[in-house]
Chain A
């Protein structure tokens, strides 16, 4: 089996779908000749031609809006937004059209498109390059929101996303892009959107993480393990539709939950999960549901980012706090 990082794994998924399905097109700024600034689409234009893998003028609303038209015309557009922090000019298209087309046309016109965007911080990036907006997308009815944490998941989820007949926001943790490698099958496989994964079984506390924070959570859990704390780790994989059953089942077993994300706290994914736990597992709780998140502040420039992003020590600290409540 090949060993791949996440960039290679996503490239492998795109490669398969371009080969497998004539209607798939991959496009955005710099994705063609250059293969994207992160090289996720490297080599694909050469292999599949300029008609199927192409550069566009620099305009995010247009990149997303043309996808709506391409999808209506029978294509399966996979659009890349170079950094999620630059997607905002396209919000009108996402909210007014991408997410609503199936419903407002009563299913007669659909929008099977994937919007790829590298998100998140901790990579010493320039201003406006470090945000995590998954809660915003999760709040828009009609979208699916996927955030892979590993190369293996990224490939299987990307193939599933392109094959999905509904629009998928595919948020790629750029911190993970080249940080980890693992065995990834060359052959295609799918990972079901809307299904979380129990990354590690445990008894005393449930930790929920996703995207780049999965690895941070794993590092914190390793420290807690030395104290003999048994942690169950859930990799959410999909933000919406959320796999609530897996979370609730786990909390009923452990009685405790800690949610870790790098996005700002208020109205975030953790807030949603805590509400859910209160609604469906209240009587099983041994400690208040707890969250470790980014602050309700602007993500600081690189000289301040270490204070902002949750790290292994803070995960460990919070696990102890919840378990010792």
Chain B
């Protein structure tokens, strides 16, 4: 039992693969086939291309402000991959792109959102997926409420919700965790501790030694994992999901990672951290170590990498093209989704604008 062995209060952190792609904890290595591990790497590599392209498009002025994901792919993807996307619920924050893409969102959806259309929030019908939550940690109670609905209906689903180190300071984090603890709900509270809330470092968010310690106060197990180690993230989430699915209640996972990029494209990290620190974390990058692991096993090489990246870039460009050709939001759409049935008071405002627009065209 990882949840028993890796007690955050004793300063323990689960790490299975080190920075050089070596397996340092064979005993806890999750059962995955070579094909699955290659698939996982491809998903993360694809997500990284979507992310890098997004920043590039933003710099060209073709997308608006967006939050880069660079360096956090293993935490996002590894956790999502450990769940059953055909039945479980995902309640995201806004920096888990690799998880979203695995759950069924497309690069087009993400780009559409950052290009300024609500349509980017629409998730596929066959998955359980809340839209991104912009106010920090405000999604945590939603996950708890979903957990309540699952327990109420007696289905064997679990919920995963994401938030960051900054999110753990918000009241909603505590209130949502507390509710899930009291009612023993099947929820995984997944903290992407990427060391910074914009410019404010992790140490300013909490005097607790580890953020995973917070689980204890809500009567649930907590575990800290190396968030840049796909295997550790996957193994911990897999066990948390089984634990929750079996009716034992919620779990909190803290994934220690690093936001290698900007908070958003409007941010300048040189103001609050050093190049040395960034270089240190670059060495711990989740994709670099996963590639090393695969290469050692003879499952991957530079040629495969280049081919795959080429293929991914082509696919992403095609999706971006669709976004650039996407129709502007209509007046109809602005009003249509406010209520199930449009109230007269909204109809009048819409008609007023339609008349104005018609007159303008007539001139």
Q: A interface vs B, CB < 8 Å? A: 25, 51, 56-57, 59, 61-62, 64-75, 77, 89, 92-93, 96-97, 101-110, 141-142, 144, 164-166, 194, 240-242, 244-245
Contacts and interface: CB of A to CB of B under 8 A. Distances in A.
Interface in B99-136: 118-119, 121-123, 125, 130-131, 133-135
B182 interface: yes
A17 to B, nearest CB: 16
Contacts of A56: 179, 182
B175 A242 contact: no
B152 interface: yes
Given A65-B145, A102-B338, A106-B337, A89 B171 contact: yes
B335 to A, nearest CB: 9
Contact of A93 (B141, B153, B339): B141
B172 interface: yes
A73 B338 contact: no
Contacts of B338: 102-103, 141-142
B2 interface: no
Contacts of A25: 148, 152
A242 B344 CA distance: 9
B152 A109 contact: no
Contacts of B333: 106
B152 A51 contact: yes
Contact of B345 (A70, A166, A244): A244
Contact of B144 (A69, A77, A96, A102): A69
Main SS class of interface, B? helix
A141 B342 CA distance: 12
B153 A74 contact: yes
A276 to B, nearest CB: 9
B178 A59 contact: yes
B147 A57 contact: no
Contacts of A240: 345
A77 B145 CA distance: 10
A71 B122 CA distance: 17
B146 interface: yes
B97 to A, nearest CB: 18
11 contacts: A25-B152, A65-B141, A65-B172, A66-B145, A66-B179, A69-B146, A71-B145, A72-B142, A73-B149, A103-B337, A107-B337
Contacts of A165: 340
Given A72-B146, A107-B336, 10 more contacts: A56-B182, A59-B178, A65-B145, A69-B91, A69-B141, A69-B143, A69-B159, A74-B149, A92-B135, A105-B123
A102 B142 contact: no
Contacts of B142: 65-66, 68-69, 72, 97
A96 B344 contact: no
B118 A103 contact: yes
B340 to A, nearest CB: 4
B53 to A, nearest CB: 24
Nearest to B134: A96
B149 A61 contact: no
A161 to B, nearest CB: 13
Given A57-B179, A69-B145, A105-B121, A166 B340 contact: yes
A65 B175 contact: yes
B145 A72 contact: yes
Given A56-B179, A89-B171, A105-B122, A68 B145 contact: yes
Interface in B171-203: 171-172, 175-176, 178-179, 182
